[in-house]
Amino acid sequence: MNKTRYAIVGTGGRAEFFYGSMVKDFRDTSELVAICDINQTRMNFTNDLLATKYEYHAVPTYKADQFEDMIRQEKPDAIIVTTVDRTHHTYIIRAMELGCDVISEKPMTVDEEKCQEILDAIKRTGRQLRVTFNYRYAPHNTKIRELIMDGTIGDVHSVHFEWLLNTEHGADYFRRWHRDKRNGGGLLVHKSTHHFDLVNFWLGTQPETVFAMGDLMFYGKANAEKRGETKFYQRATGNAYAKEDPFALHLDSNEHLKGLYLDAEHEDGYQRDQSVFGDGISIEDTMGVMVRYKNKAILTYSLNAYLPWEGFNVNINGSKGRIEMKVVEKSYVNAGGEKADEGALKSKSITVFPMFAAPYQVELEEGVGGHGGGDPVLLKDIFDKPSDDRFNRAASHVDGAMSILTGIAGNISLRTGQPVAVDKLVKF
C-alpha cells in the first residue's frame, strides 16, 4: 500500500502530537518525510526524539525560508501546520499552491483577512484543508451531538457554555507567544475556537450575530500591582523571585521543555517562561460572548483563565427538555508531560431533563487518551482509512472558518462595542 507522505512545519509543543502518533501507530499508512521550523536547535531536538523515543529515523530539516524547497525536494502529499497561529495562512496557502493538501492545527487563522485568503486559495487550487478539532471526537462531546440529532430535547433554543481554565493551564497562555494578541487572536480565537466549533457541531448550524465583552482583569503587571504585589520578574528560569511564585514555569526543571525551548533560545530569543504578571500582555483573561445562530438558537458563553479548577459546564435548552453536562479536566502545561495527559478527564456527567418525565443520567463511553479520549480517535481518522461517521466529525475548512469567525467577530465587538454580523466578514 502506498503511504501518505507528510511534512510538518512548526516543531513546537503541538507538533509531537502528530508526528509521535504517525511514526508510532500508523507506520503502515503514513510516513514523515521532513520537518520545517525557524529554529534548527528545535528541529534537532525533534529528530533526537524521533530516534530515542519513537525508534524512527531522522528526517531532513528545513528552515522556514526553505519551506518551498522542502516541498519540491521531499514531495510530501500533505503538510501539517503547527506553527504560531498568525503564520498558519502563509504555510496553508503556499502548500496548496505547490500541490499539497493541508492539515492545520486549530485555529485555522486569526482574523477575517487571512481567513479570506485561505478560502480564496482553496477555490483557486482545488486542494483540501482539514482543521483538527479533537474535542469533537471525545465520547462525551459526541454524545451531545447524538442526543440532539436524535431529538432527545427537541429543537434547541439556547445554550449556556462556561469554560474554566485554571491557574496552571490557563496561566500558560500568558507565559508564551499567545500573550501577544497579534500571534493568536487572543483566547476568543486561539482557545474558544474549540468551544464555538462544538456548538456549531452540536446544533448543526452556523453563527449569525456576535456580541462580546472582555478585558485583562487578573494577569498583567497593573492587575498584580492593584493586589499589592511588589516583587516582579521578567522570566522565571533562574530568577530568585520566581522560586516562590506558584504561577512560574521553570524550564530547567523539565527536560522536554528545556530541550524544546530553553536550549533553543540562542537562535530566536523566544522565552517560554515569561512572567504572567509582567508587561506586554495584550490578550483578555475574562470574556463573555452572546451569539445568535442561523437556526435562531442563542448562545451565552464565558471564558475565564485563572480559576481553581479546569473544565466546563454546558446547559442546552430545547422544546422537549434540557441537557446538562459537567466535565472536569486534569491540569497540564503544554509540552510539559505526556500527550495523553493533555485535557485528560477527572470526571464527566451528562444529565437529561425531559419536559414531563424524570431526569436521567446518560451512560458515557470511557475514552482513552488526551482531551477526553478524543485525541486517539482524531488521529486514527487522520492517518488511517476514515470510517463512515454518522456524526461527521471530520472538520473541513468551512468548519474551521465558522469556528474562528465567532471569535474574530467577538474581537471586533470588543473593539467597537457593537454586535457583528458574521456573514459580512468573509465570502465563501
pLDDT value at position 391? 95
Q: H helices of 246-390, where?
A: 255-260, 265-268, 374-383
The overall longest dimension of the chain from CA atoms, in Å, is 65
Within-domain flag for 379: no
Same domain, yes or no: 180 and 325: yes
User: What is each CA distance from 293 to 17, 91, 121, 203, 207, in whole angstroms?
Assistant: 33, 31, 27, 9, 4
Same domain, yes or no: 319 and 287: yes
Same domain, yes or no: 31 and 115: yes
Same domain, yes or no: 192 and 231: no
**pTM recorded for the entire structure:** 0.95
Same domain, yes or no: 241 and 93: no
**Cβ atoms < 10 Å from Cβ of 151:** 11
Same domain, yes or no: 255 and 346: no
The mean pLDDT of the chain is 96
User: What is each CA distance from 94 to 81, 234, 272, in whole angstroms?
Assistant: 12, 37, 28
User: Is pLDDT of 304 > 90?
Assistant: yes
Number of domains in the chain: 3
User: Is pLDDT of 370 > 90?
Assistant: no
Domain stops at, among 134, 160, 184? 134
**Cβ atoms < 10 Å from Cβ of 181:** 19
Same domain, yes or no: 232 and 215: no
> What value does the mean pLDDT take over residues 358-378?
88
> What value does the mean pLDDT take over residues 328-342?
79
Closest Cα partner for 144 from 330, 319, 364? 364
Q: What is the pLDDT of residues 88-99, one digit of tens each?
A: 999 999 999 999
Domain stops at, among 134, 168, 188? 134
Enter the C-alpha cell of residue 154: 427537541
Same domain, yes or no: 139 and 179: yes
Give the confidence band of 64 by pLDDT, cuts at 50, 70, 90.
very high
Within-domain flag for 276: no
Cα separation, 151 vs 113, whole angstroms: 38
Same domain, yes or no: 141 and 16: no
- Chain-centre distance of CA 247, in angstroms? 22
Same domain, yes or no: 299 and 360: yes
Q: What is the pLDDT of residues 186-233, one digit of tens each?
A: 999 999 999 999 999 999 999 999 999 999 999 999 999 999 999 999
pLDDT value at position 339? 66
Give the confidence band of 406 by pLDDT, cuts at 50, 70, 90.
very high
Closest Cα partner for 315 from 302, 331, 306, 305? 302
- For 196-228, give one letter per residue: b (16+ CB within 10 A) or e: bbbbbbbbebbbbbbbbebebebbbbebbeeee
Same domain, yes or no: 178 and 251: no
Enter the C-alpha cell of residue 352: 437529561
Q: What is the CATH number of the domain that holds 293?
A: 3.30.360.10
Its domain, for residue 263, covers: 221-267
Give the confidence band of 385 by pLDDT, cuts at 50, 70, 90.
confident
Cα separation, 135 vs 342, whole angstroms: 12
